[in-house]
């Protein structure tokens, strides 16, 4: 994958990120459970073409399930796939039938999903419906580009996709963005918050995680910009979280980019310790399997 990007591996890239590594990190931070998210979607990415693509996807998903099974009382596996691939539905069904997976991860940016393409939306509706049928939690990296209209993309999501997964849970990674918290992300969240409140019980299946919302250097220069027209992420972030409701906010780090304890401290500096401690207790009720 690094070769496809023209990058050389580093010491960090060479780490064995298996179940033992995760359990050690969880124990260090006094965490009990975690979700393991497969990276199989990378093998179906237009950015990183590989030979025997579908075989590689299956191997990665199966390896993830096997790692989670080693600590079945603490780790839950999520399969992943490029949802636009011809084999996507087949792979979701295969993994669901194995009963080894709690959920499905989708990465719209890595898979080059375009919500303005009706064919993409139609395919995603099938993916959402299949996850819903099998009660697989949908974990979605929603933002797909740097130049991104968060409001319009979120409107398409709530109007044309969310209804296909009403019987399962949907978790939106990075509070709807892809790291940091900028104005397009905030505008996407505003649409999703409105959807949640308008739909009542129908919006109760929507959750958001805090992974990578604050960068590792977030404590540097966190003073809000001056001027009425300036974007003030430090003020907007707590406001949106309050509108969503703390019970629908989940902890996440985007590890191994940052570990559990230092990211917890960053969140406490931005949101306050009481709020973060409440978020740390949140879980998503799941009912995987047909």
pLDDT at 223: 41
- Tokens for 177? 């963005």
User: Distance between CA atoms of 114 and 273, rounded to whole angstroms?
Assistant: 38
Could you tell me if 219 and 269 are in contact, meaning their C-beta atoms sit under 8 angstroms apart? yes
pLDDT of residue 106: 98
Residues 2, 85, 83, 37, Cα dihedral to 10° = -40
Supply the pLDDT for residue 192. Answer: 96
CB atoms within 10 A of CB 232: 15
User: Which regions of the chain does DSSP assign to beta strands (E)?
Assistant: 34-37, 75-80, 103-107, 137-141, 170-172, 206-209, 249-250
What local confidence, expressed as pLDDT, does residue 10 receive? 75
What is the phi/psi pair of residue 103, to 5°? -160, -175
Q: In tens digits, what is the pLDDT along the chain, a chain of 290 residues?
A: 666 556 777 766 666 789 999 999 999 999 999 999 999 999 999 988 888 999 999 999 999 999 999 999 999 999 999 999 999 999 999 999 999 999 999 999 999 999 999 999 999 999 999 999 999 999 999 999 999 999 999 999 999 999 999 999 999 999 999 988 999 999 999 999 999 988 776 678 999 999 999 876 654 444 433 444 567 888 899 999 999 999 999 999 887 778 899 999 999 999 999 999 999 999 998 875 54
pLDDT in the model for residue 217: 60
Which helix H or strand E contains 154, and what residues bound it?
A: helix 150-160
- The rounded distance, in Å, linking the Cα atoms of 268 and 262 is 10
The pLDDT value recorded for residue 277 is 95
* Structure tokens, 228: 């009425």
Give the pLDDT confidence score for residue 228 in this predicted structure: 45
pTM value? Answer: 0.91
């Amino acid at each position: 994958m690094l070769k496809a990007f023209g990058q050389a591996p580093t010491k960090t890239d060479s780490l064995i990120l298996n179940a033992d590594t995760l359990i050690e990190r969880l124990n260090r931070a006094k965490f009990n459970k975690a979700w393991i998210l497969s990276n199989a979607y990378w093998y179906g990415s237009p950015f990183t073409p590989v030979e025997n693509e579908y075989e590689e996807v299956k191997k990665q998903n199966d390896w993830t399930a096997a790692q989670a099974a080693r600590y079945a009382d603490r780790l839950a596996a999520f399969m992943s796939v490029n949802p636009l691939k011809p084999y996507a539905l087949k792979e979701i069904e295969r993994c669901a039938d194995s009963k080894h997976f709690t959920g499905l991860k989708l990465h719209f940016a890595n898979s080059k999903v375009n919500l303005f393409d009706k064919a993409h939306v139609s395919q995603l509706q099938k993916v959402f419906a299949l996850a819903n049928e099998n009660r697989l939690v949908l974990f979605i990296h929603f933002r797909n580009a740097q130049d991104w209209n968060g409001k319009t993309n979120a409107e398409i999501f709530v109007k044309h996709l969310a209804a296909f997964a009403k019987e399962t849970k949907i978790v939106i990674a990075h509070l709807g963005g892809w790291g940091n918290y900028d104005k397009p992300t905030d505008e996407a969240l505003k649409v999703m918050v409105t959807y949640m409140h308008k739909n009542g019980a129908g919006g109760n299946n929507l959750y958001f995680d805090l992974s990578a919302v604050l960068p590792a250097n977030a404590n540097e220069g966190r003073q809000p910009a001056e001027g009425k027209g300036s974007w003030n992420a430090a003020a907007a972030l707590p406001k949106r979280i309050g509108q969503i409701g703390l019970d629908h906010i989940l902890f996440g780090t985007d590890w191994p980019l940052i570990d559990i304890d230092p990211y917890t401290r960053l969140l406490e500096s931005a949101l306050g310790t009481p709020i973060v401690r409440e978020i740390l207790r949140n879980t998503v009720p799941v009912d995987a399997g047909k």
